[in-house]
Structure 1
Amino acid sequence: MKDMVLSFRDVELTLQGNAGPVNILRAITLDVTRGETVGLIGPSGSGKSSLLMLMGGLERATAGTVSALGHDLTALGEDALARFRRQHMGVVFQSFHLIPTMTALENVATPLELAGRRDAFERAEEELRAVGLGHRLDHYPVQMSGGEQQRVALARAAAPRPDILLADEPTGNLDGPNGQAIMDLLFGLRDRHGATLVLVTHAPELAARCDRVITLADGRISGVETRRKEAAE
Protein backbone atom coordinates (compact mmCIF):
# COMPACT_ATOMS: atom_id res chain seq x y z
CA MET A 1 0.00 0.00 0.00
CA LYS A 2 1.34 3.41 -0.90
CA ASP A 3 2.12 5.94 1.83
CA MET A 4 -0.63 8.44 2.52
CA VAL A 5 0.61 12.02 2.16
CA LEU A 6 -2.58 14.09 2.41
CA SER A 7 -5.88 13.06 3.93
CA PHE A 8 -9.13 15.05 4.24
CA ARG A 9 -12.10 13.76 6.22
CA ASP A 10 -15.46 15.58 6.03
CA VAL A 11 -13.72 18.93 5.70
CA GLU A 12 -15.75 22.13 5.68
CA LEU A 13 -14.57 25.71 5.18
CA THR A 14 -16.88 28.60 6.01
CA LEU A 15 -15.74 32.22 5.86
CA GLN A 16 -17.52 35.33 7.04
CA GLY A 17 -18.65 37.63 4.25
CA ASN A 18 -20.37 41.01 4.33
CA ALA A 19 -23.76 39.33 4.12
CA GLY A 20 -22.93 36.56 6.60
CA PRO A 21 -21.27 33.13 6.50
CA VAL A 22 -20.18 31.82 3.09
CA ASN A 23 -19.71 28.07 2.59
CA ILE A 24 -16.50 27.69 0.56
CA LEU A 25 -15.92 23.92 0.88
CA ARG A 26 -18.38 21.23 1.92
CA ALA A 27 -17.93 17.56 2.91
CA ILE A 28 -14.50 17.14 1.32
CA THR A 29 -13.10 13.64 1.79
CA LEU A 30 -9.92 12.98 -0.17
CA ASP A 31 -6.65 11.04 0.00
CA VAL A 32 -3.41 11.72 -1.89
CA THR A 33 -0.61 9.15 -1.92
CA ARG A 34 3.15 9.62 -2.08
CA GLY A 35 4.49 10.51 -5.51
CA GLU A 36 1.03 11.11 -6.96
CA THR A 37 0.26 14.08 -9.20
CA VAL A 38 -3.22 15.53 -8.66
CA GLY A 39 -4.87 18.30 -10.66
CA LEU A 40 -7.69 20.38 -9.16
CA ILE A 41 -10.02 21.84 -11.77
CA GLY A 42 -13.41 23.56 -11.85
CA PRO A 43 -15.00 26.94 -12.53
CA SER A 44 -13.90 30.10 -10.75
CA GLY A 45 -15.28 30.17 -7.22
CA SER A 46 -15.60 26.39 -6.97
CA GLY A 47 -13.13 26.19 -4.07
CA LYS A 48 -9.98 24.91 -5.82
CA SER A 49 -7.53 27.41 -4.37
CA SER A 50 -9.16 27.18 -0.94
CA LEU A 51 -8.67 23.42 -0.97
CA LEU A 52 -5.01 23.90 -1.87
CA MET A 53 -4.60 26.42 0.94
CA LEU A 54 -6.03 23.89 3.41
CA MET A 55 -3.51 21.32 2.17
CA GLY A 56 -0.71 23.76 2.92
CA GLY A 57 -2.04 24.80 6.30
CA LEU A 58 -2.44 28.33 4.96
CA GLU A 59 -6.16 28.24 5.78
CA ARG A 60 -7.86 26.44 8.65
CA ALA A 61 -10.78 24.06 8.20
CA THR A 62 -14.00 25.02 9.95
CA ALA A 63 -14.88 21.35 10.49
CA GLY A 64 -13.37 17.95 9.76
CA THR A 65 -9.70 16.94 9.77
CA VAL A 66 -6.80 17.71 7.43
CA SER A 67 -3.73 15.51 7.80
CA ALA A 68 -0.39 15.78 6.04
CA LEU A 69 2.32 13.15 6.43
CA GLY A 70 0.47 11.82 9.46
CA HIS A 71 0.23 15.21 11.20
CA ASP A 72 -3.19 16.68 11.98
CA LEU A 73 -2.87 20.22 10.57
CA THR A 74 -6.10 21.28 12.24
CA ALA A 75 -4.49 20.71 15.65
CA LEU A 76 -1.25 22.61 15.03
CA GLY A 77 -0.64 26.20 16.12
CA GLU A 78 0.63 28.85 13.72
CA ASP A 79 4.29 28.41 14.67
CA ALA A 80 4.10 24.64 14.35
CA LEU A 81 2.35 24.98 10.98
CA ALA A 82 5.08 27.33 9.74
CA ARG A 83 7.78 24.86 10.80
CA PHE A 84 5.92 21.99 9.15
CA ARG A 85 5.60 23.89 5.86
CA ARG A 86 9.26 24.89 5.95
CA GLN A 87 10.35 21.28 6.47
CA HIS A 88 7.93 19.43 4.20
CA MET A 89 6.18 21.71 1.67
CA GLY A 90 6.93 23.89 -1.30
CA VAL A 91 4.28 26.31 -2.56
CA VAL A 92 4.14 28.06 -5.95
CA PHE A 93 1.55 30.78 -6.57
CA GLN A 94 0.24 32.39 -9.75
CA SER A 95 1.82 35.64 -8.54
CA PHE A 96 5.49 35.01 -8.05
CA HIS A 97 5.85 36.60 -4.57
CA LEU A 98 9.54 37.32 -5.02
CA ILE A 99 11.26 39.88 -2.79
CA PRO A 100 12.05 42.76 -5.17
CA THR A 101 15.16 43.94 -3.30
CA MET A 102 16.78 40.49 -3.45
CA THR A 103 18.54 38.79 -6.35
CA ALA A 104 17.30 35.47 -7.72
CA LEU A 105 19.98 33.69 -5.69
CA GLU A 106 19.01 35.52 -2.49
CA ASN A 107 15.29 34.87 -3.06
CA VAL A 108 15.92 31.13 -3.21
CA ALA A 109 18.59 31.01 -0.48
CA THR A 110 16.84 33.10 2.18
CA PRO A 111 14.20 30.48 3.19
CA LEU A 112 16.97 27.90 3.40
CA GLU A 113 19.02 30.20 5.63
CA LEU A 114 16.01 30.72 7.89
CA ALA A 115 15.70 26.94 8.14
CA GLY A 116 19.31 26.80 9.35
CA ARG A 117 20.88 25.23 6.27
CA ARG A 118 24.60 25.97 6.04
CA ASP A 119 24.64 25.20 2.31
CA ALA A 120 21.78 27.61 1.55
CA PHE A 121 23.49 29.48 -1.27
CA GLU A 122 25.02 26.36 -2.80
CA ARG A 123 21.62 24.64 -2.79
CA ALA A 124 19.95 27.79 -4.19
CA GLU A 125 22.43 28.00 -7.05
CA GLU A 126 21.96 24.32 -7.83
CA GLU A 127 18.19 24.74 -8.10
CA LEU A 128 18.41 27.91 -10.19
CA ARG A 129 20.74 26.16 -12.62
CA ALA A 130 18.31 23.22 -12.72
CA VAL A 131 15.54 25.55 -13.97
CA GLY A 132 17.84 27.15 -16.55
CA LEU A 133 18.70 30.34 -14.65
CA GLY A 134 22.39 29.87 -14.02
CA HIS A 135 22.98 33.11 -15.93
CA ARG A 136 20.47 35.06 -13.81
CA LEU A 137 21.77 34.41 -10.29
CA ASP A 138 22.57 38.07 -9.58
CA HIS A 139 19.56 39.58 -11.35
CA TYR A 140 16.67 41.22 -9.48
CA PRO A 141 13.00 40.35 -10.23
CA VAL A 142 12.47 43.59 -12.16
CA GLN A 143 15.29 42.55 -14.51
CA MET A 144 13.60 39.24 -15.35
CA SER A 145 10.64 38.24 -17.50
CA GLY A 146 7.50 36.72 -16.02
CA GLY A 147 8.60 33.27 -17.09
CA GLU A 148 11.99 33.74 -15.45
CA GLN A 149 10.41 34.99 -12.23
CA GLN A 150 8.19 31.92 -12.10
CA ARG A 151 11.28 29.76 -12.58
CA VAL A 152 12.83 31.47 -9.55
CA ALA A 153 9.64 30.75 -7.60
CA LEU A 154 9.86 27.09 -8.65
CA ALA A 155 13.50 26.90 -7.60
CA ARG A 156 12.61 28.43 -4.23
CA ALA A 157 9.83 25.88 -3.70
CA ALA A 158 12.03 22.95 -4.72
CA ALA A 159 15.22 23.93 -2.88
CA PRO A 160 14.20 22.43 0.51
CA ARG A 161 13.47 19.10 -1.26
CA PRO A 162 9.83 19.13 -0.08
CA ASP A 163 7.71 16.03 0.34
CA ILE A 164 4.69 17.96 -0.98
CA LEU A 165 4.70 20.54 -3.78
CA LEU A 166 1.58 22.71 -4.10
CA ALA A 167 1.02 24.96 -7.13
CA ASP A 168 -1.85 27.43 -7.60
CA GLU A 169 -2.32 28.33 -11.28
CA PRO A 170 1.45 28.20 -11.91
CA THR A 171 1.03 29.02 -15.61
CA GLY A 172 -1.82 31.53 -15.21
CA ASN A 173 0.27 34.67 -15.76
CA LEU A 174 2.42 33.27 -18.56
CA ASP A 175 2.16 33.06 -22.33
CA GLY A 176 2.00 29.72 -24.17
CA PRO A 177 5.72 28.93 -24.56
CA ASN A 178 6.59 30.04 -21.02
CA GLY A 179 3.60 28.17 -19.63
CA GLN A 180 4.72 24.99 -21.38
CA ALA A 181 8.24 25.42 -20.01
CA ILE A 182 6.92 25.84 -16.45
CA MET A 183 4.76 22.72 -16.87
CA ASP A 184 7.80 20.72 -17.93
CA LEU A 185 9.81 22.07 -14.99
CA LEU A 186 7.05 21.28 -12.48
CA PHE A 187 6.86 17.66 -13.53
CA GLY A 188 10.64 17.53 -13.75
CA LEU A 189 10.87 18.64 -10.13
CA ARG A 190 8.41 15.94 -9.16
CA ASP A 191 10.50 13.34 -10.98
CA ARG A 192 13.84 14.65 -9.67
CA HIS A 193 12.89 14.97 -6.01
CA GLY A 194 10.02 12.47 -5.73
CA ALA A 195 7.62 15.06 -4.35
CA THR A 196 3.86 14.64 -4.34
CA LEU A 197 2.45 17.35 -6.61
CA VAL A 198 -1.00 18.95 -6.25
CA LEU A 199 -1.87 21.79 -8.58
CA VAL A 200 -4.81 24.07 -9.34
CA THR A 201 -5.20 24.84 -13.01
CA HIS A 202 -7.55 26.05 -15.72
CA ALA A 203 -5.19 24.68 -18.39
CA PRO A 204 -6.53 21.38 -19.82
CA GLU A 205 -3.08 20.42 -21.11
CA LEU A 206 -1.63 20.72 -17.61
CA ALA A 207 -4.44 18.75 -15.98
CA ALA A 208 -4.03 16.05 -18.64
CA ARG A 209 -0.50 15.35 -17.41
CA CYS A 210 -1.69 14.52 -13.88
CA ASP A 211 -2.23 11.01 -12.53
CA ARG A 212 -5.63 12.04 -11.18
CA VAL A 213 -7.91 15.00 -11.88
CA ILE A 214 -10.42 16.16 -9.27
CA THR A 215 -13.25 18.45 -10.34
CA LEU A 216 -14.81 20.85 -7.85
CA ALA A 217 -18.17 22.59 -8.18
CA ASP A 218 -19.90 24.72 -5.55
CA GLY A 219 -17.37 23.71 -2.91
CA ARG A 220 -17.84 19.97 -3.40
CA ILE A 221 -15.96 17.26 -5.27
CA SER A 222 -18.12 16.63 -8.31
CA GLY A 223 -15.88 14.24 -10.21
CA VAL A 224 -12.65 12.23 -10.06
CA GLU A 225 -10.83 10.95 -13.12
CA THR A 226 -7.77 8.72 -12.98
CA ARG A 227 -5.56 9.45 -15.97
CA ARG A 228 -2.88 6.82 -15.36
CA LYS A 229 -3.13 3.35 -13.91
CA GLU A 230 -1.41 3.13 -10.56
CA ALA A 231 1.69 1.00 -10.43
CA ALA A 232 1.17 -2.42 -8.97
CA GLU A 233 1.42 -2.41 -5.21
Structure 2
Amino acid sequence: MTDSPPATARQETALRLDEVALSLDGNAGPVDILHAVTLEVPVGQTLGLVGPSGSGKSSLLMLMGGLERASAGQITALGHDLTALDEDALARFRRDNMGVVFQSFHLIPTLTALENVATPLELAGVADAGTRARAELEAVGLAHRGGHYPGQLSGGEQQRVALARAAAPRPKILLADEPTGNLDAASGAAIMDLLFGLRDRHGSTLVMVTHAEDLAARCDRTVRLRDGRIEA
Protein backbone atom coordinates (compact mmCIF):
# COMPACT_ATOMS: atom_id res chain seq x y z
CA MET A 1 0.00 0.00 0.00
CA THR A 2 1.27 3.44 -0.89
CA ASP A 3 1.94 6.28 1.53
CA SER A 4 -0.47 8.58 -0.33
CA PRO A 5 -3.85 6.92 -0.94
CA PRO A 6 -6.33 8.63 -3.26
CA ALA A 7 -8.12 11.61 -1.77
CA THR A 8 -11.72 10.84 -0.77
CA ALA A 9 -12.84 14.15 0.79
CA ARG A 10 -12.54 17.87 0.19
CA GLN A 11 -9.14 19.20 1.26
CA GLU A 12 -10.74 22.03 3.25
CA THR A 13 -12.02 19.37 5.65
CA ALA A 14 -9.40 18.22 8.13
CA LEU A 15 -11.45 15.37 9.64
CA ARG A 16 -14.74 13.76 8.70
CA LEU A 17 -16.55 10.91 10.42
CA ASP A 18 -19.55 9.27 8.72
CA GLU A 19 -21.78 6.97 10.81
CA VAL A 20 -18.80 5.80 12.85
CA ALA A 21 -19.36 3.15 15.51
CA LEU A 22 -17.00 1.43 17.94
CA SER A 23 -17.57 -1.81 19.83
CA LEU A 24 -14.99 -3.50 22.05
CA ASP A 25 -14.95 -6.99 23.52
CA GLY A 26 -15.68 -7.09 27.25
CA ASN A 27 -15.85 -9.93 29.78
CA ALA A 28 -19.60 -10.21 29.24
CA GLY A 29 -19.47 -9.74 25.47
CA PRO A 30 -19.25 -6.78 23.07
CA VAL A 31 -19.54 -3.30 24.58
CA ASP A 32 -20.82 -0.48 22.37
CA ILE A 33 -18.65 2.62 22.91
CA LEU A 34 -19.73 4.91 20.05
CA HIS A 35 -22.94 4.90 18.02
CA ALA A 36 -23.23 6.25 14.46
CA VAL A 37 -21.17 9.39 15.05
CA THR A 38 -21.14 11.85 12.15
CA LEU A 39 -18.87 14.87 12.50
CA GLU A 40 -16.88 17.25 10.29
CA VAL A 41 -13.94 19.39 11.40
CA PRO A 42 -12.81 22.11 8.96
CA VAL A 43 -9.13 22.84 8.43
CA GLY A 44 -7.80 25.27 11.04
CA GLN A 45 -10.70 24.84 13.49
CA THR A 46 -10.21 24.23 17.22
CA LEU A 47 -12.74 21.69 18.49
CA GLY A 48 -13.39 20.77 22.10
CA LEU A 49 -14.86 17.33 22.85
CA VAL A 50 -16.68 17.40 26.19
CA GLY A 51 -19.01 15.17 28.16
CA PRO A 52 -19.13 13.00 31.29
CA SER A 53 -16.65 10.21 31.98
CA GLY A 54 -17.42 7.18 29.86
CA SER A 55 -19.18 9.19 27.15
CA GLY A 56 -16.69 8.10 24.48
CA LYS A 57 -14.63 11.30 24.10
CA SER A 58 -11.19 9.69 24.25
CA SER A 59 -12.30 6.77 22.10
CA LEU A 60 -13.50 9.22 19.46
CA LEU A 61 -10.16 11.02 19.54
CA MET A 62 -8.29 7.71 19.15
CA LEU A 63 -10.40 6.90 16.09
CA MET A 64 -9.59 10.29 14.58
CA GLY A 65 -5.89 9.55 15.01
CA GLY A 66 -6.10 6.03 13.61
CA LEU A 67 -5.02 4.66 16.99
CA GLU A 68 -8.23 2.63 17.25
CA ARG A 69 -10.15 0.87 14.47
CA ALA A 70 -13.79 1.77 13.89
CA SER A 71 -16.26 -1.11 13.96
CA ALA A 72 -18.39 0.61 11.31
CA GLY A 73 -18.48 3.79 9.27
CA GLN A 74 -15.78 5.82 7.53
CA ILE A 75 -13.12 8.22 8.83
CA THR A 76 -11.27 10.57 6.50
CA ALA A 77 -8.39 12.83 7.47
CA LEU A 78 -7.01 15.45 5.09
CA GLY A 79 -8.80 13.70 2.27
CA HIS A 80 -7.49 10.20 3.02
CA ASP A 81 -9.70 7.29 4.07
CA LEU A 82 -8.14 6.06 7.33
CA THR A 83 -10.47 3.07 7.48
CA ALA A 84 -8.91 1.72 4.28
CA LEU A 85 -5.28 1.89 5.49
CA ASP A 86 -3.34 -0.95 7.07
CA GLU A 87 -1.35 -0.41 10.27
CA ASP A 88 1.89 0.52 8.52
CA ALA A 89 0.18 3.08 6.29
CA LEU A 90 -1.66 4.52 9.30
CA ALA A 91 1.62 4.89 11.17
CA ARG A 92 3.17 6.72 8.22
CA PHE A 93 0.14 8.99 7.91
CA ARG A 94 0.29 9.91 11.61
CA ARG A 95 4.03 10.51 11.36
CA ASP A 96 3.61 12.90 8.44
CA ASN A 97 0.37 14.66 9.40
CA MET A 98 -0.58 14.33 13.07
CA GLY A 99 0.65 15.21 16.53
CA VAL A 100 -0.88 13.54 19.60
CA VAL A 101 -0.67 14.77 23.20
CA PHE A 102 -1.75 12.38 25.95
CA GLN A 103 -2.77 13.04 29.55
CA SER A 104 0.01 10.80 30.85
CA PHE A 105 2.79 12.29 28.67
CA HIS A 106 4.12 8.97 27.25
CA LEU A 107 7.72 10.16 27.13
CA ILE A 108 10.50 7.59 26.65
CA PRO A 109 12.14 7.43 30.12
CA THR A 110 15.60 6.45 28.84
CA LEU A 111 15.84 9.44 26.49
CA THR A 112 16.53 13.06 27.43
CA ALA A 113 13.96 15.76 26.78
CA LEU A 114 15.80 16.80 23.63
CA GLU A 115 16.04 13.21 22.40
CA ASN A 116 12.32 12.66 23.04
CA VAL A 117 11.45 15.67 20.90
CA ALA A 118 13.93 14.73 18.18
CA THR A 119 12.81 11.09 17.89
CA PRO A 120 9.76 11.57 15.60
CA LEU A 121 11.81 13.92 13.41
CA GLU A 122 14.59 11.36 13.08
CA LEU A 123 12.07 8.64 12.23
CA ALA A 124 10.70 10.91 9.51
CA GLY A 125 14.20 11.45 8.11
CA VAL A 126 14.35 15.18 8.93
CA ALA A 127 17.92 16.32 8.30
CA ASP A 128 18.00 19.03 10.98
CA ALA A 129 16.15 17.00 13.65
CA GLY A 130 18.35 18.18 16.52
CA THR A 131 18.13 21.83 15.58
CA ARG A 132 14.36 21.74 15.18
CA ALA A 133 13.96 19.81 18.44
CA ARG A 134 15.95 22.48 20.31
CA ALA A 135 13.77 25.19 18.76
CA GLU A 136 10.58 23.44 19.90
CA LEU A 137 11.94 22.99 23.43
CA GLU A 138 12.77 26.68 23.46
CA ALA A 139 9.23 27.49 22.30
CA VAL A 140 7.82 25.75 25.40
CA GLY A 141 10.38 27.35 27.71
CA LEU A 142 12.55 24.29 28.30
CA ALA A 143 15.69 24.95 26.31
CA HIS A 144 17.67 24.72 29.55
CA ARG A 145 16.23 21.27 30.38
CA GLY A 146 17.07 19.49 27.12
CA GLY A 147 19.66 17.24 28.76
CA HIS A 148 17.35 16.07 31.57
CA TYR A 149 15.47 12.78 31.60
CA PRO A 150 11.68 12.61 32.16
CA GLY A 151 12.17 11.36 35.71
CA GLN A 152 14.08 14.55 36.48
CA LEU A 153 11.25 16.80 35.29
CA SER A 154 8.05 17.93 36.98
CA GLY A 155 4.66 16.91 35.57
CA GLY A 156 4.23 20.30 33.96
CA GLU A 157 7.68 20.10 32.40
CA GLN A 158 7.03 16.61 31.08
CA GLN A 159 3.83 17.79 29.42
CA ARG A 160 5.75 20.69 27.88
CA VAL A 161 8.20 18.18 26.40
CA ALA A 162 5.25 16.13 25.11
CA LEU A 163 3.83 19.27 23.48
CA ALA A 164 7.17 20.06 21.87
CA ARG A 165 7.44 16.49 20.59
CA ALA A 166 3.94 16.63 19.09
CA ALA A 167 4.58 20.02 17.48
CA ALA A 168 8.09 19.34 16.16
CA PRO A 169 6.96 17.61 12.93
CA ARG A 170 4.67 20.63 12.30
CA PRO A 171 1.52 18.49 12.08
CA LYS A 172 -1.55 19.51 10.12
CA ILE A 173 -3.76 17.94 12.82
CA LEU A 174 -3.07 18.16 16.56
CA LEU A 175 -5.00 15.82 18.88
CA ALA A 176 -4.92 16.33 22.65
CA ASP A 177 -6.48 13.94 25.17
CA GLU A 178 -7.02 15.68 28.53
CA PRO A 179 -3.64 17.47 28.22
CA THR A 180 -4.07 19.15 31.63
CA GLY A 181 -5.66 16.22 33.46
CA ASN A 182 -2.58 15.31 35.51
CA LEU A 183 -1.53 18.89 36.30
CA ASP A 184 -2.36 21.48 38.93
CA ALA A 185 -4.40 24.53 37.91
CA ALA A 186 -1.44 26.84 37.31
CA SER A 187 0.52 24.28 35.27
CA GLY A 188 -2.63 23.34 33.36
CA ALA A 189 -3.32 26.95 32.39
CA ALA A 190 0.26 27.35 31.18
CA ILE A 191 0.02 24.17 29.11
CA MET A 192 -3.20 25.36 27.48
CA ASP A 193 -1.58 28.68 26.55
CA LEU A 194 1.30 26.76 25.00
CA LEU A 195 -1.01 24.34 23.19
CA PHE A 196 -3.02 27.11 21.55
CA GLY A 197 0.21 28.97 20.82
CA LEU A 198 1.68 25.95 19.05
CA ARG A 199 -1.57 25.56 17.11
CA ASP A 200 -1.34 29.19 15.99
CA ARG A 201 2.35 28.93 15.11
CA HIS A 202 1.95 25.85 12.93
CA GLY A 203 -1.60 26.49 11.65
CA SER A 204 -2.78 23.09 12.85
CA THR A 205 -6.34 21.88 13.25
CA LEU A 206 -6.77 21.18 16.98
CA VAL A 207 -9.14 18.62 18.52
CA MET A 208 -9.04 18.46 22.30
CA VAL A 209 -10.77 16.21 24.83
CA THR A 210 -11.36 17.94 28.15
CA HIS A 211 -13.59 17.86 31.23
CA ALA A 212 -12.92 21.55 31.87
CA GLU A 213 -15.65 23.76 30.46
CA ASP A 214 -13.43 26.85 30.63
CA LEU A 215 -10.82 25.16 28.45
CA ALA A 216 -13.44 23.97 25.97
CA ALA A 217 -14.77 27.54 25.81
CA ARG A 218 -11.45 28.63 24.31
CA CYS A 219 -12.13 26.46 21.26
CA ASP A 220 -13.92 27.69 18.14
CA ARG A 221 -16.52 24.98 18.62
CA THR A 222 -17.62 22.47 21.24
CA VAL A 223 -19.16 19.04 20.67
CA ARG A 224 -20.76 17.27 23.64
CA LEU A 225 -20.94 13.49 23.85
CA ARG A 226 -23.17 11.35 26.05
CA ASP A 227 -23.42 7.57 26.02
CA GLY A 228 -21.39 7.36 22.83
CA ARG A 229 -23.55 9.79 20.87
CA ILE A 230 -23.25 13.46 19.95
CA GLU A 231 -25.88 15.44 21.80
CA ALA A 232 -28.09 17.70 19.69
Q: TM-score range by the shorter chain?
A: over 0.9
1:55 and 2:64 equivalent?
Answer: yes
1:64 maps to which residue?
73
Instruction: Give CA deviations for 1:107-162 in whole Å, capped at 9, x if unaligned.
Output: 00011101111111101000000000011010111111000000000000000000
1:7 and 2:16 equivalent?
Answer: yes
1:154 and 2:163 equivalent?
Answer: yes
Query: Which SS does the other structure have where 1:59 is aligned?
Result: coil
Instruction: Give CA deviations for 1:21-76 in whole Å, capped at 9, x if unaligned.
Output: 11100010000001100000001110000000000000011111000001000000
Structure 2 counterpart of 1:149, which letter?
Answer: Q
Give the distance between the partners of 1:215 and 1:204, measured in 2 at CA: 11
**How large is the RMSD of aligned CA atoms in angstroms?**
1.0
Q: Report how many aligned residue pairs link the two structures.
A: 223
What TM-score comes out, normalization by structure 1 length?
0.94
1:129 and 2:138 equivalent?
Answer: yes
Give the distance between the partners of 2:54 and 2:153, measured in 1 at CA: 31
Percent identity for Structure 1 against Structure 2? 75
Structure 1 counterpart of 2:207, which letter?
Answer: V
5 Å matches for 1:9-48?
9-48=18-57
Q: Pick the aligned partner of 1:189 from 183, 189, 198.
A: 198
Q: Would the aligned equivalents of 2:11 and 2:78 in 1 still touch at CA under 8 Å?
A: no
1:219 and 2:228 equivalent?
Answer: yes
Q: Would the aligned equivalents of 1:38 and 1:212 in 2 still touch at CA under 8 Å?
A: yes
**Cα displacement (A) at 1:104:** 0.4
Q: Would the aligned equivalents of 1:2 and 1:33 in 2 still touch at CA under 8 Å?
A: no
Give the distance between the partners of 1:160 and 1:198, measured in 2 at CA: 17
1:78 and 2:87 equivalent?
Answer: yes
**Cα displacement (A) at 1:2:** 8.1
- The list of structure 1 runs, each at least 4 consecutive aligned residues, that deviate by more than 2 angstroms after superposition, is none
| Structure 2 unaligned regions, length at least 5 | 1-9
What TM-score comes out, normalization by structure 2 length?
0.95
Instruction: Give CA deviations for 1:181-209 in whole Å, capped at 9, x if unaligned.
Output: 00000100111000000000011111010
Q: Would the aligned equivalents of 1:54 and 1:61 in 2 still touch at CA under 8 Å?
A: yes
Give the distance between the partners of 1:39 and 1:110, measured in 2 at CA: 28
